[in-house]
Amino acid sequence: MSLPKNLDSADMLGKIKSFPGQMIAGFDLGSEAWRSVRLAPQAVVIAGMGASATGGDLLRLYLFGQSRVPVFVFRDFRLPVFIGRGSLVVVSSYSGDTEEALSCLDDAEGKGADVVCVTSGGKLLREAHSRSIPHVVLPKGFPPRASLGYSFSALLALAHKVGLCPDPTAELRECAQHLDEISTIYSSDAQDNIASRLAADLGARIPIICSSGALDAVGLRWKNQFCENSKRLAFVSILPEGNHNDVMGWEGSSSAIDAGIVVLRTTDEHPRVARVLAHARDIYGGKARFCGEFWGGGSSLLCRMFSLILLGDYASYYLALGNGVDPTPIATIEKIKTWLRNG
């Protein structure tokens, strides 16, 4: 697949390639930053927006079968009333200037919750210093969506520190090694590069991501990456919920729909959902112009999650270039932020 890489003005490809190393570096940064944290929270909340909240989504997913402490992600200007003493609120903003995250910082402190921060700078870092709030400083120079390896693994270090999971170091290193191996393929012109092949199969079609609840945050990441990197409308359907509503939307058309179905699979699926996903081609294939199934690889849930995330990141990059789009700029998002600042 010959692509005009000169469109990649800010080297998004290089940033995607850095993902495996980010996983280790972010955990090390977090382990150092949280050294003085002494907490046994009754609930953990990650407050952030966009890619700065995605690490929280993935942490919630990873901890689902391990932690007896509930983990929530909130994307808003304020926190729910149940947050208070005994709650740990992680305020996450890569830029440090996200107004929703800054609002939640004040809200969390006002409710008496314990607070830590994840950022690369901006007002959030200044507030963390002035208020003596524990914080991790992520490396600068990345679009937030391209720093996910850092932000997730810094949160993973926090989860281990406060007792939500056993030491994940060995699992994390195995995951990073696997990601490094598949990244070598996905960044090459190899015939077995399924990332570039998927982008070619999608072409001008609307991606619709379908997965089980065991990968809900992964499916959302794929959708977001197609929107931000590829500048392409994309949608996500999570089962079993989608079995009760989304699937009926396909009955309303008598002809093929110009969409590409991307089915994300993992051995962690509930057996009942797995039975439905096994029939995805029968459900969607007759209406969508493309339907492909992709499995997470590796021996752990962490590896299966992030191997699929890396595939989606590369596929969204190749889809951008294939359609003559620079993957880095996000002009409309910046325009909305300007309106809000000036309002």
Asked about 135 being catalytic, the answer comes back as no
Asked about 129 being catalytic, the answer comes back as no
What region does 182 belong to: left with phi over 0, alpha with psi -120 to 50, or beta?
alpha
235 C-beta neighbours (distance < 10 Å), count? 15
Which one of 99, 109, 174, 337 is the catalytic residue? 337
Write the CA distances from 27 to 40, 194, 208, 262, 302, integer angstroms: 20, 29, 32, 30, 14
Q: Nearest to residue 127, comparing CAs of 84, 96, 158? A: 96
Please, which residues have CB within 8 angstroms of residue 99's CB and are 6 or more apart in sequence? 77, 340
Write the CA distances from 266 to 19, 84, 194, 214, 294, integer angstroms: 21, 36, 17, 8, 9
Measured distance CA(259)–CA(322) in Å, rounded: 17
* Bond into 240 cis (ω within 30): yes
E-only strand ranges, the chain: 43-47, 71-74, 87-93, 114-119, 135-137, 206-212, 235-239, 257-265, 288-295
Which one of 100, 127, 171, 228 is the catalytic residue? 228
Distance of CA 227 to the CA centre of its chain: 13
Asked about 279 being catalytic, the answer comes back as no
Phi, psi of 206 (to 5 degrees): -80, 120
Measured distance CA(260)–CA(140) in Å, rounded: 35
Active site residues: 228, 244, 337
